[in-house]
Structure 1
Amino acid sequence: MRTKLVLLFFFAIIGLSNAQDAKEAREFFWGAKDEFKKANSIPDKWKNESAVIIHKREHYNYHKFGKSVTYISGIRKRIMLLDQAAVTEFSQFSYKNKFYTNRAYGGKKGTNYIGVKIIKPNGKEIEIDTEKEAKEVDGEKKLAIPNLEIGDIIDYYFYSVEPFKSVFDYTFEAVETPLGDVYPTMDLKITLDTENDFFINFNTYNDAPNLKEIPTKSSGERSYELTEKDIPKNEFPRWFYPLAEMPCYKFQVIFARSGKFEKLADGFLSEKERDIKKTVSKEDIFDYYNKKFVPFGDIDDIKDFLKGKTFASEDDKIREVYYFTRHQFYTRYIEAFVVNEAKMFYPFEYYGYDPIFFNTEVQFVNYFMQFLRKNDISYDVIVATPRYDGSIDDLLIQFNVKKLIRVNTKNPVYLEYFSPFSSADQFNYNIENSKAYVLEVSKGKRITDASTVQLPSSTYKENCVKTKTVMTLDDFTGFKVKKESSYLGHLKEGEQSDKLNFYDYVYEDYKKYGTKPLLDYVKNKKKNEQYTNEMNALINKMKDSQKEEFEKSLESELDFLVDDYTFKLNNTGRYGKKSAFEIEEDFAIKNNLIKKAGDKYLIELGKMLTSQIEIDQKEKDRKNNIYSIYPRSYENEIILNIPAGYSVSGLEKFNKKVENETGGFTSTAEVKGNQLIVKTYKHYKNYFEPNSNWNKMIDFLDAAYQFTQEKVLLKKN
């Protein structure tokens, strides 16, 4: 009985706490201090917009009490809806009411609170009872907003309370976002509250207003705000990096209870917690990574691997060591993670005491520093930030930094932290062609200085995909198709990730390096047989699922249904930048691409190029610059086997050529023997194009799209 009473008391306390938080959330946004409760009009200049944000408020609060830390975040928007698209967008909200926070070591249940009210044109307010009206669907709350109409104002907020325990240091997720929204904003306020032991990195960019400190009653508390009015709507077109050009802000809060934990903190801290850190200097970079990057690790495994081996060059030796360590400290354990996730058995005990698995960039860098130092090979450590995040001159958030090893051989070899598909000489395309810091290493041991460097670029010829598609008519109602594809460069990485399962590359590595599969460690015959059967069943299930996924992916590319799909892997392309990822796909196209016209057949051959970008009028009026992921090219060969007794016409429309400094599209068509051979080549030359070059890009993009609309006529001789 006593236990029951204690539990009842406990849940009553939680209920009171939640009710208090809900009340505080409502009061915070809609209470007596709400300056916008009567704001019901918008300027004439925005009356033709889909919607207008009358007021937007973002709030962040970081608070501690003893070992307990509470993170509160909230957003409120008061929006006038001016067309049906806006009404439809705000007619339903989806959110999670409760969530488990795993921050630090003492995560607790967090709670989200939502408030919604509608203000009709006559001024009548209708507040939604969100607790009563929200319905649970697939673990989420769904809240429908009834009777929403054009001309209404919707005023809503989300308020999240996330408690946890921490006695050490903790780095909160960074916030990096444009100032504007997809709708024009009349008034914006961002508020940030912290206290002692919380360090703030905060800055604004591209002409956004500065953050201002607001006086507080307590010396241990700090409050800041950023305000702006009359913000135009943001356009987010394809191939655009908003943070590189738009007014924006970035910030991160780091919690550290003492000087000891300040030194361990995962970020660039100001000297004093009261000071906001706005910039990161070369000296900051040096100081932070000089502590992080130290040669470390037992390289006996590499020594064993290198015994008796000779290499054509030092470069080749470095590459082979990279691929070996990728297996030894990464892919060798992937099978175990799969087994553990499938709950077959606990696999990690079979690898001996304290197996080494690299799961951070720092582990990787330190280990390779050790190998290179022990072998008297010159190297540097490079830190860079993605191009989509702006220049490294504006670096603020440590999490954004990517780390590389540059081995200073005759032809420098760049190495980055492993993925199952990573290649020596190739690194994250987001930091290619960007300014970076070089952390110079003295005598292979310590970082002694930091300087800047422009990282290498890749070319559209290196990042390429080549396809060969052979089509054979099937009773004049469809086609049997064989498609061979070969991928290189960054186009290879994405396809490998999408199309390779663990058994495709883990077992390949076992064979290459002579290491034992996990099940070979299981000596008990009965258990081995059981686990083998379970593993085979799992792999067969994954293959069936994979086939279904690939078929759907192909249909999405072609924009029509396919049938009788089969897939074959010819080369994983995992052991070198110049080794292609190669696959074959066989499938049938039924009742598509072919139309009978008397004794003739019209074939929509252009659609076999797969979907191309169609630039509509809205996109043609682009105002932003163009940021491409990387230079790239697509080479296609489409072969149509012409049935005996037939010939083709209409080839002139398949001969196109548009080329300029931004890229190009060319296509040719000719008949050789009993085959129609169509070749296309499309390429993007650069990482960046000024807006003034947009029309030049449209020229070849339109040519490629028009190709997909072309047809050939098949007729009897």
Structure 2
Amino acid sequence: MKYYFLALVLTAMSIKGLAQDKNEQAYRKASAEIKQQVFAWDKPQFHVRDIPKEYANASKVVIARHTELTSESKSGIAFYFGGIGSKRELNILEIVREVIKLNDKAAVEYYSELAFTKFARTSGFYTSEKLSTYVGIRIIKPNGKVTEINADDVVLTRDDPKNKKAKIAVPNLEPGDIIDYYIASDQQLVNEQGAKEYRILLFDDAPILNLSFHGELGKKMAILYRSYNNAPDLKIGKNNDKEIIIDVQKDNIPAYETALWIAPARQLPFIRMSISLGYSGLGAKYNGTRRPGEILKLENENEILDDIAQDYSESYYYNYWLLAGRKQYGEIEKTAQKKAKQMGLKYKDLTDDEKAALLFYTFRGALMGFDINRLSETLNIGSREYNGAAFPLFAIMKVAGMEPAILLSEHNRGYRLKDAMSRSDLQSLAYLPGSKKYFSINTIFDFPFKIPDFVEGVQNTKSITFSHPVAVGSMKKIAGMSNVATGPRIPASMAKDNLRQENLRLSINDDISTLRVKRNTILKGHYKLDAQQSLALYEDIYESERKSFGDKESLLEALEDGKKSKKYVEEVKNAFAEARKNQKTAFVNEAKEWFEQDVTDLKDHKVTSLGIRHTEPDFVYSSSFNLDGLVKKAGNNIIVEVGKIQGQPLSIKDNNRNRTIDVYMPFARGIEYVIELEIPIGYTVEGVQELNKNVSNETGLFIVEATTANNIITIKVKKHYTHNFEPAANFTKMLSFLDAADEWTNAKLLFKKAN
């Protein structure tokens, strides 16, 4: 029997190996065919070699970039677990070819290795997706010699049947070379109902001499599109086969700032298309599907707002107005009433704001509820996202007798309300118009009245309320339940509201090579989330909320009291212990990342305030450790490079200093240090007064105040960004305090050995 089983295993392995060989052969054959086709494109722009003088100092110059996008679809019959259904297949092939002149070492380093997804596949009961990627690379030397890189001999960075990621080295690149390469992506979709978004980008961080796009989409396709930020319109037509033909061309595109404080949706030129298989059958009108062959340019916000209003009307009707839907939100209120009693509160006497806060915390507690069957996921709850949970929060407050609304807002660095193409382009919050209070759950660390950073300062909002349907005869009546009105301007926070406060007690260790650091960090406002997600433990969050609600039993005690859960107590204890052990590593990594120096001998690490309640909003943690890289011996003396305590602050390079586009930052913010550095016994200090600096204007500030008293040097450092947005004209003012902070990195103190 065992030999029979072994034979089966060997046979299965052999079949798998043959299948892999067959797939690889098919891949290489397709790759060769695409290579021959693409490098044979007869387009004059790919043969340009003379670069305009104005781009002589550019790191790289895109001589030509051309994209070919084609799609075709077909329908048929398929069998699904014994049943028969329709099958719609969609194939999308995108080929992007670029010819780029590399002018310096930075460009050479960037293109010395290309990474791509060679093959990926996902599948489900009714849908499947397959993606294959092909690459071709040629190097053209200044003397005209052409060298082709064998792109099929790649290094797989991930190799499994459904996902192969690869990279390929491009050797012997030198400044002055031209790289001519393409990436072709062949995507096959089955029964894909949703639209695929596609962008034609008309910008780069390098100048582009010629950019072109050509698309040929099957006659069953439908297109919804918009041009953004002065991008040209699409040239659209149809050929004799009724296929949709799309062309775009633009010459001499200057380099854009694409990395530092930008909002691409608001500042950079591009064309956005929503491509889908058209459908004109039953329910198409109310499902928002497009007809086969339809080409629609969106030109005003009402088209999308009407769709969003219909979506919310259906949610309101099915998930609130109908008793079954409303009942689930009523359970949250019942739980909140019990919590209020435990806390010694009279629920009926609470104000709307107090009641809304209690309901918020109760709902959040339900989201983070403990599940022994998904223990690892439960412990990683800090990484979960809830997309605002606007409708559930609205419904919970509505069922509790309040008059909330849903607020539809722009993303302050994303698409404007008038430029939206789908509901996902806009942000939703629950809102109490009477007290002008906002509610949103994006992570488990959010609390009531906290405004997400991405909607702060937005002026264009819409307030959505609902009316009860008179009749339930059609989808049209349901869609008419939404009442959309102009909403309020959302306030913006100030630098003092989003603060990082580092309180550091420093002393020079006996080895005179490291500093001993006692650290206490206070994070306020939008500065908290990253640290909360990495340093806070589920066990501590759970216990903190339990005590706030007045619950008597700890989680472990509750598990021990349960008949079914008692057997899991040891497993949970071990999981909690492992998480607490890993917390130290998280503290070390966080300190290394912040100070940008080696951190050793970390101890006494703890979180003293979780920052998950509006009554205790700050996240506070502390630790002690040795910090490398700041202390040097100089004969009998000691030099402390105190300016490096701030890590490496933002340094604006020469090519980014002449800014012509506005500055979009995530939020107004401040970083502050209070440093107490002990003067070693037997030493005197020089350079304290030279640490002082004061640069400030309406855009921000960098201030250092240094004093000495009782053998302690106290250094107070403040760096503030006043607003989350600055017009381009103010960038020079920003440079003044940014440069001051950058220069202060070189600040040093000299400790001289007393004679």
1:319 aligns with 2:357: yes
Alignment match, 2:65? 56
Q: Does 1:374 align with 2:399?
A: yes
Question: What does 1:601-620 align with in structure 2 at a 5 Å threshold?
Answer: 601-620=638-657
Residue type matched to 2:486 in 1? S
Equivalent pairs counted in the alignment come to: 691
Q: Of 221, 241, 246, which aligns to 1:224? A: 246
Structure-2 change in CA distance of 1:619 and 1:275 (3 Å): closer
Out of 289, 292, 310, the residue aligned to residue 290 of structure 1 is: 310
Contact 1:470 1:483 in 2 (8 A): yes
* 8 Å contact from structure 1 (residues 482, 587) kept in 2: yes
- Structure 1 range deviating more: 247-256 or 580-589: 247-256
Counterparts of 1:138-153 in structure 2 under 5 Å? 138-139=158-159, 140-153=165-178
Q: In structure 1, what residue type is equivalent to 2:739?
A: D
Cα 1:119–1:476, aligned 2, differ >3 Å: closer, same or farther?
Answer: closer
Instruction: Tell me if structure 1 keeps the 8 A contact 2:70–2:216.
Output: yes
How has the CA–CA distance of structure 1 residues 554 and 241 changed in structure 2, closer, same or farther, with 3 Å as cutoff? same
Structure 2 residue 663 is matched with structure 1 residue 626: yes
d(CA) in 2 for partners of 1:548, 1:634: 24
Supply the distance in 1 between the matched residues of 2:18 and 2:719 (Cα, whole angstroms): 69
* Partner secondary structure for residue 464 of structure 2: strand
**2:433 equivalent in structure 1:** 408
Give 1:300's aligned amino acid: E
Alpha-carbon distance in 2 for matches of 1:541, 1:482: 25
Give 1:403 shift: 0.8
Determine the structure 1 residue equivalent to 2:335: 304
Q: Does 1:71 align with 2:71?
A: no
Bigger shift: 255-264 or 304-313?
Answer: 255-264
CA distance in 2, matches of 1:130, 1:483: 51
Which of 461, 465, 471 is matched with 2:500 structurally?
Answer: 465
Please name the residue that 1:492 is paired with: 528
1:391 partner amino acid: R
Secondary structure of 1:367's counterpart equals helix
Q: Give the letter for the 1:228 counterpart.
A: K
Do 2:278 and 2:289's aligned partners in 1 also have CA atoms closer than 8 Å? no
Candidates 111, 114, 118, aligned match of 1:93: 114
Shift of 1:633: 1.4
Asked whether the 8 Å contact 2:379–2:538 carries over to 1, the reply is no
Distance in 2, matches of 1:442 and 1:111, equals 47
Judge conservation of contact 1:286–1:449 (CA < 8 Å) in 2.
no
Residue type of the partner of 2:489? Q
Tell me which residue corresponds to 2:677: 640
Q: Does 1:438 align with 2:459?
A: no
Distance (Å, rounded) in 2 between the aligned partners of 1:495 and 1:222: 50
Contact 1:171 1:253 (8 Å CA) reproduced: yes
1:27-46 equivalence runs, <5 A: 29-31=38-40, 34-36=43-45, 38-46=47-55
Q: Which amino acid aligns with 2:509?
A: D
Q: Decide which of 255, 260, 266 is 1:233's aligned counterpart.
A: 255
Name the TM-score, length of structure 2 as normaliser.
0.82
CA distance in 1, matches of 2:459, 2:183: 39
In the TM superposition, residue 21 of structure 1 has moved relative to its aligned partner by 4.6
CA contact (8 A) 2:202 2:231 kept: yes
Q: How far did 1:690 drift?
A: 2.0
For residues 598-630 of structure 1, the C-alpha deviation after alignment (integer angstroms, 9 at most, x for no partner) is 3x5433333334432233433333333222211
Out of 171, 194, 219, the residue aligned to residue 217 of structure 2 is: 194
> For residues 680 and 318 of structure 1, what CA distance do their matches in structure 2 show?
39
Equivalence for 2:476: none
SS state at 1:170 partner: coil
What is the alpha-carbon distance in structure 2 between the residues aligned to residue 518 and residue 692 of structure 1? 59
Equivalent residue number for residue 107 of structure 1: 128
For 2:443, which of 419, 428, 446 is the aligned residue?
419
Match 1:117 to one of 121, 126, 138? 138
Per the alignment, residue 348 of structure 1 pairs with: none
> Does structure 2 retain, via aligned residues, the 8 Å contact 1:384–1:403?
yes
SS at the partner of 2:369? helix
2:264 to 242, 252, 258: 242
* Preserved contact between residue 559 and residue 565 of structure 2 (Cα < 8 Å): no
Q: Is the 8 Å Cα contact of residues 425 and 577 (structure 1) preserved in structure 2?
A: no
Aligned 8 A contact 1:369 1:444 in 2:
no
Amino acid of the residue matched to residue 595 of structure 1?
K
Q: Aligned ranges for residues 163-562 of structure 1 at < 5 Å?
A: 163-166=188-191, 169-172=193-196, 174-176=197-199, 178-196=201-219, 198-219=221-242, 221-255=243-277, 257-260=279-282, 262=284, 274-282=294-302, 284-292=304-312, 293-294=315-316, 295=320, 296-297=325-326, 298=328, 299-307=330-338, 308=341, 309-310=345-346, 313-328=351-366, 330-333=367-370, 336-339=373-376, 361=387, 364-410=389-435, 412-442=436-466, 446-475=481-510, 477=512, 478-513=514-549, 514=551, 517=555, 531-562=568-599
Greater shift after overlay, 271-280 or 46-55? 271-280
Letter in 2 for 1:180: F
Distance in structure 2 (CA, Å) of the matches to 1:322 and 1:384: 21
Greater alpha carbon shift after TM alignment, 249-258 vs 574-583: 249-258
Change (3 A) 1:337 1:192: farther
Judge conservation of contact 1:573–1:580 (CA < 8 Å) in 2: yes
Is the 1:92–1:145 contact (alpha carbons within 8 Å) kept by the matching residues of 2?
Answer: yes
Given that residues 184 and 230 in structure 1 are in contact (C-alpha distance below 8 angstroms), is that contact kept between their aligned partners in structure 2?
Answer: yes
Q: Distance in 2 between matches of 1:138 and 1:13?
A: 19
- Partner amino acid, structure 2, of 1:322: F
* Contact 2:279 2:290 (8 Å CA) reproduced: no
The runs of 5 or more residues in structure 2 that have no matched partner are 1-6, 76-86, 160-164, 470-480
Asked whether 1:573 is paired with 2:594, we answer no
Would the aligned equivalents of 1:314 and 1:409 in 2 still touch at CA under 8 Å?
no
Secondary structure at 1:186 match in 2: strand
* Alpha-carbon separation, structure 2, partners of 1:240 and 1:597: 48
User: Could you tell me how far 1:303 is from its partner in structure 2?
Assistant: 1.9
Q: Whole-Å Cα distance in 1 between the matches of residues 304 and 738 of structure 2?
A: 44
Query: What is the DSSP-based 3-state SS (H/G/I as helix, E as strand, rest coil) of the residue aligned with 1:276?
Result: strand
How far the C-alpha of 1:79 sits from its partner, in A, is: 2.0
| CA drift at 1:449 | 2.1
Q: Structure 1 residues 392, 80: CA separation in 2 closer, same or farther (over 3 Å shift)? A: same
**Amino acid aligned to 1:71:** I
Q: CA deviation at 1:340?
A: 6.2
User: Does the CA-based 8 Å contact 2:630-2:642 persist in structure 1?
Assistant: no
Shift of 1:78: 1.8
Shifted more, 579-588 versus 553-562: the winner is: 553-562
Match 2:733 to one of 685, 692, 696 = 696
Cα distance in 2 for residues equivalent to 1:544 and 1:563: 16
| Bigger shift: residues 300-309 or 540-549 | 540-549
For the aligned residue pairs, the C-alpha RMSD in angstroms reads 3.7
Post-superposition CA distance 1:298-333 (Å, at most 9, x none): 1223223224333663212211211110111x1115
CA–CA distance in 2 between the matches of 1:488 and 1:455? 20
Cα distance in 2 for residues equivalent to 1:122 and 1:707: 47
CA contact (8 A) 2:673 2:716 kept: yes
List per-residue Cα deviations over 1:351-410 (Å, max 9, x = no partner): xxxxxxx97548x33323322322331222112232222422222243222111111233
CA–CA distance in structure 1, aligned partners of residues 482 and 433 of structure 2:
15
CA contact (8 A) 2:300 2:419 kept: yes
Amino acid at match of 1:217: N
Q: Partner residue of 2:162?
A: none
On the 8 A contact 2:662/2:727 being kept in 1, the answer is yes
Shift of 1:121: 4.3
Cα distance change of structure 1 residues 261 and 151 upon mapping to structure 2, 3 Å threshold: farther
Please tell me whether residue 658 in structure 1 is matched to residue 695 in structure 2.
yes
CA 1:165–1:638: 2 relative to 1, 3 Å: same
Query: Contact between 2:677 and 2:713, CA under 8 Å: does it hold in 1?
Result: yes
